[in-house]
Structure 1
Amino acid sequence: MATQPTTTTIQLNPKEDQLKELLLDAARYVDQHQPAAEPVVLRWAGGWVRDKLLGVESHDIDTAINVMTGEAFTSKMCELCEKPETIQKHGITETDIGNLHKIARNPEKSKHLETTTIKLFGYDVDFVNLRKETYAEDSRNPQMEFGTAEEDALRRDATVNALFFNLNTGEVEDFTTGLADMQSKLIRTPLEPFQTFMDDPLRVLRLVRFASRLEFSIDPAAEEVMVDQGVLEALRLKISRERVGVEVEKMLKGNHPRRALQYIDDLGLYHTIFTDPNNPSFPSPNTSNWKFAYNCLDTLRENKAPASIYNMLVRSDEAAYLAWALAAIVPFGPLAQPPHTGKGRPPPPYGTVAAREGIKAPNKLSDLCTAAYNHRAEILSLKKTVTEGAPDINQRDRFGMAIRHWDSRGGHWRLQVLWALLVEAMEVLAGGSDKSHTGSNEDFLQGWYAFLDHLQELDVMEAPSLKRLIDGTQLAKALGVKPGKWMAQALEVCVAWQLRNPEATDPAGAVEEVRSKRDELGIPSS
C-alpha cells in the first residue's frame, strides 16, 4: 500500500500558472485520445520544487508523468498546441513554444533514461516518466521501469530533491522527509546512505554541492558513509571523470565555493577527486594546511574595496571560477616537478595532471595550472624585489616583460599571481596566529598589496595588450634584411624599449637598440 505523502502548497507566478494550465489541458487531451488504465497525472519534480519553497526562481522544470514516456506526452501536447482554440485559450505566441529535443539514454555516462525537453513560456521543461530503478549485483547501471511517485522519490539523491508539485491537486507531495529536512536545513538521503552511494557514487559529490550551495548541513549518518573507503574507491574508479568534473565545476561556480572546498577537505574527498585515477603511483599532496588557502581566497573575495587584491586580480565571472579551480590545486604547489627523462617537452606539473585527469579540466584551465606552477618562483622573486626595495625596483621593462611572458604562456597572468599568493598563504599562514585561519593575516597580505600597488604605479598591469610601435615586416625593412628566426627575440627587444620609453611614438630608438644587439640576436648583415 502506497504511503500517503506529507503535503503543503506553493504560490505560482502568472507564467508558471499559464504553463500549468496548458499542461493540464494536454493531460486531458491525452486521456481523451489515447486512454490508459489510469488518467495522466503530471508532477513538477526535484530542484524546481526545492527552489520554489526557498523563494528562489528557477527556469528549469522537470515534469514527471505517471503512465507514459516524455516523448509520447510531448508529441500529443504539441499536437494540441497547433489547434487555434488552444492558442487562443492559453494566449500562446509564436515564441512561447520551442522545438522538441530528445536526449537519448547513455548508460555508459550514467544517463539511464531518455528525456524530452522543450521551451515553454520561457521555461526549459523536461518530460520523463516516473520510474523506479533496480541494480544488478555486477553492474552500477540500473534497470529502469515505470514506477510510482513514491518509488521515484526514493531513488533520488537527497530528500530535498525528492519533492513533487502535483499539477492536478496543486499540492507539494513529500514521500520522504524532504519538507522537514528543508526546515532543518539538512541534506539527507531518502534511502540508507551506503546503498544510495554504492548505487551511484557520484551522489557523494552531489550532496556536497547541494549542501554548499544551499548552506545546509549534511546528515551525520550520510557523512559517515561518504568517507567509507569502499564508497570512495567506487567514486574513484566507477564514475566517469567528466561527471566528477561537472559536479566540481558547479560547486566552484556556485555562490559558496569555499564551503564546497571545505566539505571536500573535511570529508577527506580530496585525493579521490584531484588525482590521476589511471596512475596508482600518483602522489597525494599534504592537505593538512589547504584550508588556509581557500579561506584566504574567500576573505579576499569578501573585501569589496575597488583597490582590493581580489578586484585587481579577479576581473570577470570566468576569472572567479578559474580562481577557485586554482585554489583547489594549491596543495600541489610545494610538490617538485615530475621527473623528466629523454627528449621532448617535460611532463606537466602534478597539479595540472590532477586537474586534467581528475576533473577533466579543459585545455584552457590545464594550461593556466601549468603556467601558474612554472611562474610561481619568478612571481615571488619580483615580489621580494619590491618588498625589499631593491635598486632595480623601477625597471619598468623588467616587470612589464615578465607579465607579458606569464600571460603568453597560459593566459590570465593575474590569476597566476593569485595562485602564488594562495600557495604562500597555505605555507605561511599555517604557522601564524590563531586569527590566521581566516586568511586575514595583514602582515602576509601587506607584501602582496605592495607588489600589486607597485605594478600599478609602474603602469604595467596591461602590459600583455601593449600595442607595438613596430611590427616584424617594418623592423626587417628598417634593418635592411629579410625576416628570419631572429625576429621574435628582436621584437621582444623593441617591446622592452617601449616599456622603458612609454611616451615614445617613433620606433627609431627601438630599431637602434636592435641594431646594437645585432650579433647577440643573430641578425645577418644587410
Structure 2
Amino acid sequence: MPTATASIALSAQETKLKNLLLDAAKYIDQSGTNYEPVILRWAGGWVRDKLIGIESHDIDTAINIMTGEAFALKICELCEQAEIIARYEITDADIGNLHKIARNPEKSKHLETTTVKLFGYDVDFVNLRKETYADDSRNPQVEFGTAEEDALRRDATVNALFYNLNTDQVEDFTSGLADMKSKLIRTPLEPFQTFTDDPLRVLRLIRFASRLGFTIDPAAEKVMGDSRVLEALRLKISRERVGVELEKMLKGNHPRRSLQYINDLGLYHIIFTNPASTAEPKPDISNWNLAYECLDFLRQNKTPGSIYNVLIGTEETSYYSWLLAAIAPWDQVPDLPHQISDKPSQPSKGSKRPPPPFVALAAREGIKATTKFCNLVTAAHNHREDIMSLKTAVSQKAAYINERDTLGMQIRRWDSKGGHWRLQILYALLVEAMQTWTVEPSVNSASNDEFLHGWQMFLDHLQELDVMDAPSLKRLIDGTRLANALGVKPGTWMTRALDVCVAWQLRNPDATEPSGAIHEVYKRRDELNVPAHAKNLTGSDW
C-alpha cells in the first residue's frame, strides 16, 4: 500500500488523454482475456514535475498486467471505432504512429517501451517491473512487478511517484511526497546498493538535484564518492551514457551546480578521463572551481556587449561553454612532443598527423564528445597562447593592434582550424581564470574586475576594428578568376594568394571590386611562388 497519497489537477487535455486510456483499459477488461482488471498509472518525471508546477509533454504510463506494446496496440484498435472518434473528436493529427523502442541496456533501456503520440503528448507504455542485478553488470534481469516493486527500483524517491488514473490519486510507496516537500533527492533503497546496482544513478541524482534546485541526501552523497561506487561507474557504465547524462546537466538551468557536485563528490577523474588508460597523467583540479564559477559569473551578469553576450550567442555555444569549463584543467597537462600540432582533426590510419592533446582526449574518450567539439577544443588548446599574446598586445597598446588585416587574418586562422573562434577565446579566458579568479567573499573583487576588464577591452577592440565577422568575409575574387587575371594555372600557390586578397580586403573594407587585391598578389608573386610566366599587369589591368 502507498505510504501517502495526494491529488493532482489535470488540464483539459490531460483529462482527455486520461479518459481515453481508461476507455482502452475498459475495452481490454471487457474482452475477458485478462485475469484481473487493467490498472494504469502515470509514473516518474511527469508526476514530479506536475507537483512542482512544471508542464511536461512526455508521459510514462505503467500498466499492471500487460506489456506496453500490447496495451498500445489496443489503443490504436480502439481509436478506429467511430464512437471513440466522435467522443474524443479525434483527428488524424491526434493519434500518431506506434513506435517500439527495443531493449537497450547500454542506453538505460532495460525493457521494451512503446511510444504513441496522443493529443500532443509523447506517451510511453511499459509494464510495472522489478529488477535484479548481478554483481558485474548494470543490466538487470527484468520481470513483471507490483507498483511498489517498480517504485523501489527507481533512482530517486521523487521519481518513484505514481498518479493512478483509476483513483485520481498520487501514490507514494517511498516517501517521495515528503522528499518533494523537503526538496531532497533520496534513493528509495539503501544508497550503496542502489549505486552499485546501477552506478549511472550517481550522475542521474546530480542531474535531478541541479535541475530542480534540490539537495542530495547526505547519506547518498557519502556513498556517491565511495571508491567502490566510482570503480563500478568506471567499469559498468558506457562512456556514451556518461556523456548523455553530462549533456543533460549542462543544458539544464543550473550547469554550475552540476559541476560543483561533480567536484565536491570527487567524480572528475572518473568522468573526464580515458577509462581504458592507466598511463595518462591526471590534471590538477584544485582550482577547477574557478573556471566554472567565473563562467557562471559572466552568465549571471550578461548585458549587451558584455563578454558573455559577445562570445556566447546560441544554445549550442552555451552548452559548449560549460563543456570547455569542465575540461579546462586538462589544458595545464603538458603535451607530449608527438601531440603538438595545429591540426585538430582526428588522424586517419597511416597518417603522420599527431594525436589530439590530452584535453581533447579527455573529451573524446571520457564523455564521447562529438568530433565537432573535439576539433574545437583541440584548436582552442593550440591557439591559446596566440590568443593570450594578442590580448596582451591590445592591453599594452602595441603598434600593430590597429592593423585590421593582421587581427582579422588571425581570427580567420583560429576559426578555420576548429570553428567557433569566439569560444576559443572563452577557453583561454577560463584557463586563465583558474590562476586569477577568486570566489572568496572576504577577498576584494578588484582583482576580478581587473581580470574581466582586460578581456572586455580585448573584445571591445576587435569590435571597434570591425573584424568580428572576419571568418565569414566574402571574397571579392575566387581562385579561378585570380588565376585568369594573372594568366596562370591554379596550383599550390593559390591558398596563400587568396589569403593575400582577403588581407587586402580587410585593409580596404570599402572596396567593391578586386583589382587592388590582384595587383597585391602580382607584386608578391615571387614570395607566393606564383608561376613565373604570370603576365605583366599594367595599370589598366588592375
* C-alpha contact 1:194 1:225 (8 A) present in aligned 2: yes
Aligned pairs, number: 523
CA deviation map 1:332-371 (0-9, x unaligned): 1222123318971122111111111111101111111111
TM-score in terms of structure 1 length: 0.97
Distance 1:435 1:424, change over 3 A: farther
Which residue pairs with 1:411 in the alignment? 419
In structure 1, list runs of 5 or more residues that go unmatched: none
* C-alpha contact 1:292 1:437 (8 A) present in aligned 2: no
Q: SS in structure 2 opposite 1:299? A: helix
Which range moved further: 437-446 or 388-397? 437-446
Distance 1:387 1:294, change over 3 A: same
Matched, 1:100 2:107: no
Give the Cα–Cα distance (whole angstroms) in 1 for the partners of residues 447 and 319 of structure 2. Answer: 22
Which residue pairs with 1:88 in the alignment? 86
Give the Cα–Cα distance (whole angstroms) in 2 for the partners of residues 199 and 396 of structure 1. Answer: 60
- AA aligned to 2:338 is H
Which residue pairs with 1:70 in the alignment? 68
Which residue pairs with 2:358 in the alignment? 350
- AA aligned to 2:459 is L
CA deviation map 1:453-504 (0-9, x unaligned): 0000000000011010111011101111000010001000110111111111
CA deviation map 1:256-286 (0-9, x unaligned): 1000011111111011000011111122111
In structure 2, list runs of 5 or more residues that go unmatched: 340-349, 534-542
Which residue pairs with 1:195 in the alignment? 193
Which residue pairs with 1:176 in the alignment? 174
Which residue pairs with 2:429 in the alignment? 421
Which range moved further: 135-144 or 274-283? 135-144
Shift in Å, 1:108: 4.6
Give the Cα–Cα distance (whole angstroms) in 2 for the partners of residues 138 and 367 of structure 1. Answer: 35
Which range moved further: 501-510 or 393-402? 501-510
* C-alpha contact 2:134 2:197 (8 A) present in aligned 1: no
Give the Cα–Cα distance (whole angstroms) in 2 for the partners of residues 85 and 108 of structure 1. Answer: 43
Which residue pairs with 2:298 in the alignment? 300
CA deviation map 1:147-200 (0-9, x unaligned): 000000000000000000000000000000100100111100000000000110
Distance 1:433 1:67, change over 3 A: closer
Q: SS in structure 1 opposite 2:20? A: helix
Which residue pairs with 1:52 in the alignment? 50
Give the Cα–Cα distance (whole angstroms) in 1 for the partners of residues 137 and 372 of structure 2. Answer: 35
TM-score in terms of structure 2 length: 0.94
- AA aligned to 1:115 is T
User: Superposition pairs for residues 88-167 of structure 1, below 5 Å?
Assistant: 88-167=86-165
- AA aligned to 1:301 is R
Distance 1:102 1:437, change over 3 A: farther
- AA aligned to 2:485 is A
Give the Cα–Cα distance (whole angstroms) in 2 for the partners of residues 135 and 309 of structure 1. Answer: 49
CA deviation map 1:283-332 (0-9, x unaligned): 21111111111011111111231111100000111111111111111111
**Which of 455, 459, 463 in structure 2 is aligned with 1:456?**
463
Q: SS in structure 2 opposite 1:128? A: strand
* C-alpha contact 2:3 2:175 (8 A) present in aligned 1: no
Give the Cα–Cα distance (whole angstroms) in 2 for the partners of residues 385 and 316 of structure 1. Answer: 29
CA deviation map 1:123-169 (0-9, x unaligned): 00000000001123444321111100000000000000000000000
Shift in Å, 1:107: 3.2
Distance 1:294 1:69, change over 3 A: same
- AA aligned to 2:382 is N
Which range moved further: 276-285 or 121-130? 276-285
Give the Cα–Cα distance (whole angstroms) in 2 for the partners of residues 436 and 173 of structure 1. Answer: 50
Q: SS in structure 2 opposite 1:112? A: coil
Distance 1:493 1:209, change over 3 A: same
User: Superposition pairs for residues 203-282 of structure 1, below 5 Å?
Assistant: 203-282=201-280
Q: SS in structure 2 opposite 1:300? A: helix
Shift in Å, 1:400: 0.3
